[in-house]
Amino acid sequence: MSWAPLPRGSFTGIDWSAPNAIDGMDPYLAWAEADGFVGYHVPGQDDQPKWLPIVIGLREGADVRQLVNASSSRWLQIPQVYLLTPGLRHCTARVSKRFFQHWREGHAMRALIQRFELGLPVEHHTQALPHCCHPHEQPRPPAHRVRGTVLGVIDGGLAVANTAFRGARGHTRVKHFWRQDNFYGGPWPGTPGNERVPLDPTRAGPEPHDMGYGHELDAAAIDAVIARYTVNGRLDEDALYRHLQMWDMARPVNHGTHVTGLATAPGGPLNPQDNDFASRCALIAVQLDWANVLDTSGGAMNVSILDALHYVVSRCADDAAIVVNISWGTLAGPHDGTSLLEAAMDELVERLAGRLQISVPAGNGYQSRTHANAVLPPHTRRKDPGTALHWRVPPDDHTQSFLEIWLPADAGSVSIEVQPPDRPAQTVSLVPGQSGMWTDADGRPLWSLIYPKTTALGARGTCALLALGPTASHDPRQALAPFGRWTITLRNAGPLPVVFDAYVERDDVALGVNTGAKQSWLEDRFYDTQGNLKGWVDQPRNPTPIRRSGVFNSLSTGQRTIAVGGTRRADTGPQPLAHFARYSPQKPEPDAARPQRPGVRNVPQTLAPCDDNTALWGVRSTGSLSGSTARLAGTSSSAPREARRRLNALK
């Protein structure tokens, strides 16, 4: 093994090891090019992406129309939906190698772009859009836009034919349904032999012209397929979903169906209060790209969710009141509302001037040991012990693992030292502006530390990214990172104390899939894992840097979205322990006096139940088939209850 500089990108042409090359850029893009997009599941050198999906944030005073007019659709393709809302500064795009050539050469479009962030280049996202924005052309708004009060749902696995989502006369309330996939399934680490199945537009619906990918069904098409599979008044839902190529519906519970039921399903005999205004509202639903279900680290989330949000808005009339629920999220990120996706959501809420509300969950990782927060003392020298974090990476993880270290803008004197498990000779120490990677004998990267002076991932300070390859694989050609306890030591040579946060990115397995992912975590001898009554919240006098507080959904720290924490319907013990779901952030903050980076959010704005009581976790909601119910736990169930409350307030 040897320490090597980051290579010149084969796609971007950027020499990532050149001075200042990583500053202001997305470190995940640099890592993706270093390992040849292996972590993005593009197998082999002969199958590299032709286009990359990105999210773009423009500078103050610029908008998407200016960017389109200053560029060419031959190398920058933006879905047409982003021109339907005037003045937007955020959009998704697909870019070719020529985009980066123009970027390096100082093309006029570069002066408009403040930052951009890589999406997940898989499947159709690596191909050109068949329809996109062109200079000086204005796309037409879609037909049949929905009026009145509308619930938008962005999730996975929505049972569109379920009677819970139909009106009094049996017609569907799902006015528009966009399925972002072009395929069902697909190859993924840990799932050998999982074949992808192309979706048939005559069954799954045509491609929405203004989005450029996926398949769309309107209410008439959904009602028609319901009528087709109804015999003697009984609907064969299994046959209907097979026809629509929605094989997920064969499972008794699907996350999107459960969430949508909490937001809008009518109540039964035990819940008559849910026969409310929300139970009669129109729905616009987006089933997220399959990559979002498989890759829980959120690589696909920025592009998929932003596209989905603009799809929902574009299908609503100009005077419609819209409440959108997004029960999705990850663990890493700036947590101060300045990520590109959060800034884009805030912008859209502001542009619609009160017509749009977005409900998001606060997160489920409160006990997961994925966050560290501490103050680095000043004048720390290289020979001093520094502040050490211990990151436990399991031995059977078939996916990549990531640790982000966030530092404020005045932290230019902080060095980061990384020691792999049981390999003291491979210890590396970097300062801002430096990067590199350890490679195996064949030159394949095993792990990398990328420490820019500024980052595209947030607008304040910087983020140092420690990226690891998988620790296990069914493919003998896969380079494997060391497993065990990684030691990350921070030292502050500057004259003032520095507050930092470290976040281990989400890497678990989503409901109903098997990816071979294993969640890594932080460990420390002072962290309380005994399970005693006071051990479920942070104790201010505990010296451990690992903090439950701050383990917050990275999608939920914006200024204009509504973050919802989770409680129990029935409290059966002393406050505050019995009131909150143990996996949810709390309100108020139990350790409010601890130092924070500027703008960090770790307290939800509001609360809603997601557990029944201390013994019975989760809440019941709509199952995949009509009349069935299922129980799921998580603040994903709290957010739609808040969405429902806000829908009813619009009555």
How far apart, in Å, are the Cα atoms of 57 and each of 111, 114, 213, 348, 624? 12, 6, 22, 13, 38
User: Is residue 2 within a helix (H) or strand (E), and if so which, with residue range?
Assistant: strand 2-4
Q: In the predicted model, what is the mean pLDDT of the chain?
A: 93
The pLDDT tens digits of the residues spanning 324-382 come to: 999 999 999 999 999 999 999 999 999 999 999 999 999 999 999 999 999 999 999 99
Q: Which domain holds residue 12?
A: 2-126
Residues 64 and 202 occupy one common structural domain = no
Rounded to a whole number of angstroms, the CA Rg of the chain reads: 24
pLDDT (0 to 100) of residue 99: 98
pLDDT (0 to 100) of residue 187: 53
More confident residue, 626 or 514: 626
pLDDT (0 to 100) of residue 44: 55
Residue 88 in domain: yes
The pair phi, psi for residue 621, each rounded to 5°, is -155, -165
- Among 536, 565, 597, which residue terminates a domain? 536
User: What's the whole-number mean pLDDT along residues 80-85?
Assistant: 97
Question: In angstroms, rounded to a whole number, what is the distance separating the alpha carbons of residues 613 and 180?
Answer: 36
Residue 141 in domain: no
Residues 495 and 579 occupy one common structural domain = no
Residue 513 has pLDDT above 80, yes or no: no
Q: Which of 113-122, 234-243, 521-530 has the highest mean pLDDT?
A: 234-243
Q: Which residue has the tokens 């990172």?
A: 481
Residues 311 and 458 occupy one common structural domain = no
pLDDT (0 to 100) of residue 41: 65
The pLDDT tens digits of the residues spanning 582-600 come to: 999 999 988 888 899 999 9
User: What's the whole-number mean pLDDT along residues 126-146?
Assistant: 93
Residues 355 and 387 occupy one common structural domain = no
Residues 484 and 588 occupy one common structural domain = no
Reading the block at residue 578, the tokens are 């019995």
177: region left, alpha or beta (phi > 0 left; psi from -120 to 50 alpha): beta
Residue 548 has pLDDT above 90, yes or no: yes
pLDDT (0 to 100) of residue 191: 44
Residue 136 in domain: no
Q: Is 198 exposed, middle or buried (0-12, 13-18, 19+ CB in 10 A)?
A: exposed
CATH of the domain at 277: 3.40.50.200
Residues 289 and 168 occupy one common structural domain = yes
Residues 296 and 153 occupy one common structural domain = yes
Of the candidates 511, 430, 412, 493, which has an alpha carbon nearest to the alpha carbon of residue 466?
430
Residue 546 in domain: no
The pLDDT tens digits of the residues spanning 402-439 come to: 999 999 998 999 999 999 999 999 999 999 999 999 99
The pair phi, psi for residue 261, each rounded to 5°, is -60, -40
The pLDDT tens digits of the residues spanning 155-168 come to: 999 999 999 999 98
Residues 176 and 279 occupy one common structural domain = yes
CATH of the domain at 382: 2.60.120.1290
Residue 140 in domain: no
Of the candidates 129, 63, 66, 42, which has an alpha carbon nearest to the alpha carbon of residue 93?
129
pLDDT (0 to 100) of residue 534: 78
pLDDT (0 to 100) of residue 189: 41
Evaluate the omega torsion of the peptide bond into residue 201 and state whether it is cis, within 30 degrees of 0.
no
Residue 375 in domain: yes
Reading the block at residue 237, the tokens are 């839902």
The pLDDT tens digits of the residues spanning 451-468 come to: 999 999 999 999 999 999
Q: Is 45 exposed, middle or buried (0-12, 13-18, 19+ CB in 10 A)?
A: exposed
Is residue 537 within 8 A of residue 635, CB to CB? The reply is no
Residues 395 and 340 occupy one common structural domain = no
Strands (E), 469-618: 484-492, 498-504, 521-523, 562-568, 606-611
Weakest-pLDDT range from 36-40, 127-131, 448-452: 36-40
pLDDT (0 to 100) of residue 290: 79
User: What's the whole-number mean pLDDT along residues 233-249?
Assistant: 95
Reading the block at residue 436, the tokens are 């590199």
Residues 384 and 348 occupy one common structural domain = no
- Among 511, 536, 561, which residue terminates a domain? 536
Is residue 566 within 8 A of residue 634, CB to CB? The reply is yes
Reading the block at residue 460, the tokens are 């304040």
pLDDT (0 to 100) of residue 190: 40
Sorting pLDDT into bands at 50, 70 and 90, what band is 533?
A: confident
How far apart, in Å, are the Cα atoms of 55 and each of 116, 118, 209, 450? 5, 7, 20, 20
First to last CA, the chain: 65
pLDDT (0 to 100) of residue 42: 57
Reading the block at residue 138, the tokens are 């204005």
Residue 60 in domain: yes
pLDDT (0 to 100) of residue 269: 72
Residues 510 and 563 occupy one common structural domain = no
Residues 313 and 462 occupy one common structural domain = no
Residue 45 in domain: yes
A 10 A CB-CB count for 557 gives 23
Is residue 291 within 8 A of residue 300, CB to CB? The reply is yes
- Among 510, 536, 562, which residue terminates a domain? 536
Residue 188 has pLDDT above 50, yes or no: no
Number of compact structural domains in the chain: 3
